[in-house]
Structure formats: structure tokens, C-alpha cells
Amino acid sequence: MGFPILRDKLTSTDQIPNNRDMLGALLWGRSVHRASKPASPDNGAKMPRKPLTRIATPESLNQINPALLARLLSPHAGFLSAHHIDVGSLMQQEQINALSEVLLNPRPDAPDTLIDALIHVEEMADEDGMHKLIELLADAGISHGLDATATPADVAVLTWLEWRDIIHRAHVEHRVLRVQSFGIFMRQPDKSAERPYDIEACIDSLEADLRQHHAAKLRGGACTLFHFLHDDELTIAIRRGGPFRREGCFENGEPSTVQYQPIKYECIVVDLAAWELKMTRTGKRDGEAYRKAVGSRLAGDPEFFTDRQRKFALDPIRRDGRECLACSDIDGIKAVRLVEVELEYADAMSSRDVKRSEDLFLSMDLQRYDFPPDARIVRARLAFTFADAPKKPRFIEVSTSNRQRCARPSDLPIVNEFLCKRGFMVEAGNVAVAIA
């Protein structure tokens, strides 16, 4: 996705000492380029972009109905005409090939709005994306009017043209569903809460809290929350600005500078039945702010969630040996192997050691090795062979510091069933397993 330009608080040309121009001339033989007003797509400042890959190939462009493709490109007909592309002649393969060449090798004059549109279409132009868009359109009571000959790319382009807020929401949820690693916060054992009656109002208040937090960190006031409620699981996607950046770049072959505010995505998941909070990796201060804000707005207590209560226990690895990997009682899992553990030693330096193997228990048997009695297992990586992919295992990682990483997030329900049955998950509210 293209990055939005920060539109205020930029230092003007008059406020920058002239000796910076002198330094630029010494280093590059020319003055450092600066916009005389806040950079924006309208005044020609260019922004860093994610390169287009799939959607820009001739094969992918041919998947878009020519009439829809012409509508998508017509606002940029002047740019395309300068590169010998006629928007009205996209039925010709020569024109499609020429368009592909321009998109795969972005020109400095390529409109940011065109790149942004194509990135959104690219993200959603597959079968899963098509189903998500159709589902969101149906939920909104919108009839898209497409028939069975429509491709995923057609659905994505039409949604961008007609219902842009829908594709923005779908794009964010698509990103969220790919999140693989979470830190987990349990509820305080002596606290309880009722499920909020008005989720929408809670999200609005939470958004205001996080917008204020990020504004205080000089990240601008751009912070938007998208939420998705499935049964008792509330997923909150956070789209916010990162710290303002100014970088060197080349413009028309000449050294220049680019200034922009990058977009950051983060994800929070709240189990409203078990009152468990998960969030993607953030900075310590951001994580603390999110923990308190979510607790305050959803449970009425900023200290409702804690990172001092343990979610995972890896004692079964030492206690039960290979038996802790038994999975015949769980549908969908064919086999489980222990492939890596991290050991922490009880010495003054808290030394750590990593043991890794294709099958760690088998290697230990062959080498007559056992876990040292003074070492604690703090992280384990397991290889799961699932029934839907018997030839390619997928990896799960859990740690006693309440972190869980899953190669495919949709595997988590069945993985957590395994972890619970084998004793890797701690009973909620058990004070005896508070993290030291």
C-alpha cells in the first residue's frame, strides 16, 4: 500500500539553515531537495511503494474485465498516454503487455492513487479475497450485480470503484488473518467481567484512547480501528501512523529526499468468554498502553489483563517424554514432533541453550542425552502433520513467556485442543503458575 504523506508540522524551507544546502552541494554536487510545502500526492512528492507483482503481469491483467479495467485506469489516462498506452484499446494484447511493463517498472511520474488502487486489488484478487468481499457486500445489503463469469479480480476492481470503504475493511481483515505471532495476557485471577453490551461504543472509545496515545508519541492523529466479531472472539485491527521518516532517494536519476509517514498494522484479539487478550508484537510502551486501554474499555478495569499469569507450561516435555506428543485422540492431526527447545539455566547469568533436531526425542535417545536438571524449558517448537497436508508439516511455537506462533492462524483451534489435552495449557486463574 502507498504511504500517506504527513500533512502538517513539516519544517518549511525558510526554517532550514542554508548550510544544509552547502552540505548537500559538497556531498552530492547539488542542493538537497525539499518540498516548499507539506508533501502530498498533489504537489509531486513521491512516496516509497510496495512493488506490484501479481496484478501487474499480463496474465493477471487479462483476468480483469476490459470494461472494468478501463474504468479503473481512466482517471490516469494522461499518465498512461505519455507511455503510449491507450485506455480505450485494452482489448489488444499489445496494449496489455505495454501496461504490464509500465506497472512492473514504476515510473517516477506514476500517480500514487493508481498504485494504491492496484495494491488493494492485488491483495484481494484471489478466491479467499473474493469470498470476503462478497460476504461484506451482502452484510451491507449491497447487490454487486456480477454473474458466474466474474473473476476474483473483477470483484476486487468493482468493489474498489463502487464501494471503496468495503475493500479497505476487507484489505485490513485480510492482513489480520495472516498474523502468525501473538503475545498473550490472561485476566487477573481475582477479577471477572460481563460481556460488553455495546461493542461499537467500546471500540469508539478505544479508538479515541489509542489515537491520543499515538499523537502523544508524535505519530500523528491517524489511528483507525476495524473490528470483527466471530462468536466470542473479538478481533481488532489497528491501522496507525509510524514515526515520520525522511530518506534519501533518486528522482529522475538525481539524488533527492523523500518524506512520509509509514502505515503500521497491529492486531488485538479478545476472547470475551475466557477473557484472554492476545496482541501482535509491539513496543513495550505500546503494549502496556493497549493492555490498559482494552481492559478499561471492555472490562471496566485498566488492570484487568496481566502478563504475569502463565498461559503455557512446558513441563510435559520433561515429565512425559514422547507421550506428550500423542495425538490419536484429536481429529485432523496425524503426527507431532518436537523439533526445538530452548533451555534456561539457573545460574547467575541466566544462560540459555537451544537444542534442535528433526526429531528431538529420537536424537536424545540415540545420544543418550537428557535435559539437565538445572535447566528449565522456556520455549518449544513443534512440527504438526495435519490431515489436510500429510507431506508438509506446519510449525507451532510456544513459550512460557506467553508467546505463541502459528504458521497458519486457522490451525490454532485444533492446535490449542492438542496443547490443552497434553497439559501444555495452564488452567485459567491458577495463581500457582504466576510468572516469576
pLDDT value at position 362? Answer: 94
pLDDT tens digits, residue range 139-190? 889 998 888 899 999 999 999 999 998 998 888 777 766 667 889 999 998 8
Residue 53 confidence class, pLDDT cut points 50, 70, 90:
low
pLDDT value at position 34? Answer: 35
pLDDT value at position 64? Answer: 92
Q: In the chain, count of helices (H) and strands (E)?
A: 14, 13
pLDDT tens digits, residue range 178-234? 667 889 999 998 899 999 989 999 999 999 999 999 999 988 878 989 888 888 889
Q: Which residue has the higher pLDDT, 37 or 181?
A: 181
pLDDT value at position 364? Answer: 92
pLDDT value at position 353? Answer: 92
pLDDT value at position 427? Answer: 65
pTM over 0.75: no
Phi, psi of 333 (to 5 degrees): -115, 125
Rounded to whole angstroms, the Cα distance separating 153 from 146 reads 12
pLDDT tens digits, residue range 261-298? 888 888 899 999 989 999 987 788 999 999 999 999 99
Q: What is the mean pLDDT of residues 73-96?
A: 88
170 and 182 Cβ atoms separated by less than 8 Å: no
Least Cα distance to 260 among 250, 248, 271, 270 occurs for 248
Which residues have C-beta within 8 Å of that of residue 171, sequence separation ≥ 6? Answer: 1, 120, 123, 124
Rounded to whole angstroms, the Cα distance separating 399 from 381 reads 9
What amino acid occupies position 57?
Answer: T
Please give the grid coordinates belonging to residue 348. Answer: 547467575
pLDDT value at position 54? Answer: 73
What amino acid occupies position 361?
Answer: F
Residue 363 confidence class, pLDDT cut points 50, 70, 90:
very high
pLDDT value at position 419? Answer: 95
pLDDT value at position 299? Answer: 94
Look over the chain and give the mean of its residue pLDDT values, rounded to a whole number.
Answer: 82
- CB crowding 382-416: b at 16 or more within 10 Å, else e: bbbbbeeeeeebbbbbbbbebbbbbebbebbebbb
Rounded to whole angstroms, the Cα distance separating 102 from 115 reads 11
pLDDT tens digits, residue range 100-124? 888 887 666 778 788 888 888 988 8
Residue 371 confidence (pLDDT) above 80: yes
Q: What is the mean pLDDT of residues 319-348?
A: 93
pLDDT value at position 248? Answer: 85
65 and 154 Cβ atoms separated by less than 8 Å: yes
Residue 426 confidence class, pLDDT cut points 50, 70, 90:
confident
What single DSSP character describes residue 45?
A: -
